[in-house]
Amino acid sequence: MENAIELRGVTKTFGLITANKNVSMDIRRGEILALLGENGSGKTTLMNMLGGIYFPDRGEIFVKGKQVEITSPKDSYHLGIGMVHQHFKLVDVFTAAENIALGLEEKGRFNLNAVKAKARDICDRYGFDLNLDQKVYNMSVSQKQTLEIVKVLYRGADILILDEPTAVLTPQETDKLFAVIRNMRADDKSVVIITHKLKEVLEISDRVTILRKGEVIGTVNTKEATESSLTEMMVGEKVELNINRIPPVNPKKRIEVKHLTIVDEQNVRVLEDVSFDVMGGEIFGIAGISGNGQKELLEAIAGLQKCEPDSSIKYFAGEKADQEMNLLGMTPKAIRDMGIGMAFVPEDRLGMGLVGSMDMVDNMMLKTYDNGRGIVVDRSIPRRRAEMIRKKLGVVTPGLSTPVSRLSGGNVQKVLVGRELASNPTVLMTAYAVRGLDINTSYTIYNLLNDEKKKGVAVIYVGEELDVLLELCDRILVLCGGRVNGILDARKTTKEEVGLLMTNLQERRQA
């Protein structure tokens, strides 16, 4: 079979960091190739060199047998390579057709109808569901992605590179995307999918190329691979991929949210009439497409959001959880002063949870710096705590006085989670706690959450990977458009059911 693309000895460095080292790989015609690797293994950098975003330091690239130099995205287009980035590059106020027409180099008068006709043709051929007259700002994430793919096909791409295409999709949307990808393969196009999700690799790809720390570890035929064999190649060692879920221990109501409504600065109702309880000793999952009110919900409980007047957030203290305390309208400091141990791992680690320019010690005292009398801060306890977290969680850092922004994403998260757990909380809220982390660190975090659950802590886990939510949580609340679209028993529900609730808002039941 002819190779669409061959890479030979490609190396790319950024400063002292080597993102790709001596990478050689092939992309065949008419195949779906999965490029698998953990975060930071150099998958995107490698593909960006095909997309004309980066230029390799060393090495050779052959497209359809000819050696080429790709110095810009334009070169890439001319070679028939189309890349769909993780962050879409669309003009919001344009329609789908206008976005497709943007930047075309066709001679003669601009004719939007001709563009539409050709685009319509592409949609029909591969089975894309796209309204060409819809404005981008009215589109869902999945529609935007479809548009991006049609856009590159329109430009005649026969080699498609999709960067983490399923990261933002529900299970149903993923199925639709995969069907379209298979149609493209049938049309003799090559498709590269950058991903770190094993299940999808096994489902869709013909071959898998695995990257680890910027180097190619190997290429295998998907038929011969299993989840554990791929993980082992990706991580470099055997990994136990089990989450040990125990039944909730002695559950008692700790948090009660009733009729929570939040209106943001643009006057949009980001949360509407949200009500639920969280027990101590359970992991309460929150699912939903990102941006459906998860962030605001956690921030409201933590005392960082302004809520509408008829909302109510209560905390129940004490061994029997019978002392009712109001949390609505409290500041984080006021909640602390009430003696409530509320730990919160926000989504934005360095922009909210930690101070990037400060070292581990100073970050340890973010919530405790004003303890004790006098005007001078006491760094001795934070220093001991930092040392303990570094040892216990295996934080890789040159030293306690290194600014945390210099640490890798996984280590930053360990520092943040470590600090929050060290405060002995009774409520623990985490938002996308494993985003960007490698498999080992992710499972470390899951285990830590389970330990907290065993201690009787009420754990709220906002997650994006449904597989994990189903394995880790006891109950799952699905948010859709800022409303509660169902609270499910995680042991009984399915991925499909959760996926459906994430996108289709149920008719509101009459109270």
Q: Whose Cβ is closer to another protein: residue 150's or residue 302's?
A: 302
* Shortest CB 72 distance to another protein, Å: 12
Positive/negative CA dihedral, 49, 52, 53, 57: positive
Q: Whose Cβ is closer to another protein: residue 123's or residue 416's?
A: 416
Q: Is 432 in the site for another protein (CB under 8 A)?
A: no
Q: Which stretch binds another protein (CB under 8 A): 81-89, 131-139, 283-291, 343-351?
A: 343-351
Total number of residues that touch another protein (CB under 8 A): 38
Contact 340, 426 (CB under 8 A): yes
Q: Which stretch binds another protein (CB under 8 A): 50-58, 143-151, 288-296, 421-429?
A: 50-58
Q: Is 511 in the site for another protein (CB under 8 A)?
A: no
Strand partners, 161: 83, 192
**Residue holding tokens 């497409």?**
289
DSSP H or E segment with residue 413: helix 409-422
Q: Which of 186, 100, 114 is nearest to 146 (CA)?
A: 100
Residue of 26, 173, 200, 362 interacting with another protein (CB under 8 A): 362
In sequence order, the 6+-apart residues with CB closer than 8 A to the CB of 391 are: none
In sequence order, the 6+-apart residues with CB closer than 8 A to the CB of 319 are: none
* Shortest CB 176 distance to another protein, Å: 37
Q: Which amino acid is at 87?
A: H
- Using DSSP, state whether 185 is helix, strand or coil: helix
DSSP H or E segment with residue 409: helix 409-422
d(CA 470, CA 493): 8
Q: Is 338 in the site for another protein (CB under 8 A)?
A: no
Q: Is 376 in the site for another protein (CB under 8 A)?
A: yes
- Binding residues for another protein restricted to 60-119, rule: CB under 8 A: 60, 69, 71
- Using DSSP, state whether 173 is helix, strand or coil: helix
Q: Which stretch binds another protein (CB under 8 A): 137-145, 239-247, 372-380, 500-508?
A: 372-380
Q: Is 439 in the site for another protein (CB under 8 A)?
A: no
Instruction: Give the full edge-to-edge strand order of the sheet including 252-263.
Output: 269-280, 252-263, 312-317, 323-326
Q: Whose Cβ is closer to another protein: residue 358's or residue 439's?
A: 358
* Shortest CB 152 distance to another protein, Å: 26
Q: Is 357 in the site for another protein (CB under 8 A)?
A: yes
d(CA 396, CA 391): 9
d(CA 317, CA 342): 12
Residue of 324, 348, 451, 489 interacting with another protein (CB under 8 A): 348
Q: Is 431 in the site for another protein (CB under 8 A)?
A: no
Residue of 1, 15, 267, 268 interacting with another protein (CB under 8 A): 15
Contact 287, 463 (CB under 8 A): yes
Tokens of 369: 């710096």
Residue of 93, 268, 375, 511 interacting with another protein (CB under 8 A): 375
- Binding residues for another protein restricted to 301-320, rule: CB under 8 A: 302, 304
Q: Is 420 in the site for another protein (CB under 8 A)?
A: no
Q: Is 496 in the site for another protein (CB under 8 A)?
A: no
DSSP for 307-370, please give it.
--TT-EEEEEETTTT-EEEE-TT--HHHHHHTT--EEEE-S-IIIIIS-TTSBHHHHHTTTTTT
Q: Which stretch binds another protein (CB under 8 A): 228-236, 350-358, 424-432, 475-483?
A: 350-358
Q: Whose Cβ is closer to another protein: residue 1's or residue 376's?
A: 376
* Shortest CB 198 distance to another protein, Å: 34
Looking at 131-225, which runs of residues are DSSP E strands? Answer: 159-163, 190-195, 207-212, 215-221
Q: Whose Cβ is closer to another protein: residue 122's or residue 358's?
A: 358
Q: Is 57 in the site for another protein (CB under 8 A)?
A: yes
DSSP H or E segment with residue 258: strand 252-263
d(CA 394, CA 319): 33
* Shortest CB 78 distance to another protein, Å: 17
Residue of 111, 125, 369, 494 interacting with another protein (CB under 8 A): 369
Q: Whose Cβ is closer to another protein: residue 200's or residue 362's?
A: 362
Residue of 202, 235, 338, 355 interacting with another protein (CB under 8 A): 355
Q: Whose Cβ is closer to another protein: residue 329's or residue 351's?
A: 351
DSSP for 118-146, please give it.
HHHHHHHHHT----TTSBGGG--HHHHHH
Q: Which stretch binds another protein (CB under 8 A): 114-122, 250-258, 346-354, 486-494?
A: 346-354
Q: Is 346 in the site for another protein (CB under 8 A)?
A: yes
Binding residues for another protein, rule: CB under 8 A, are 15-16, 55-60, 69, 71, 302, 304, 331-334, 336, 344, 346, 348, 350-358, 362, 365-367, 369-370, 375-377
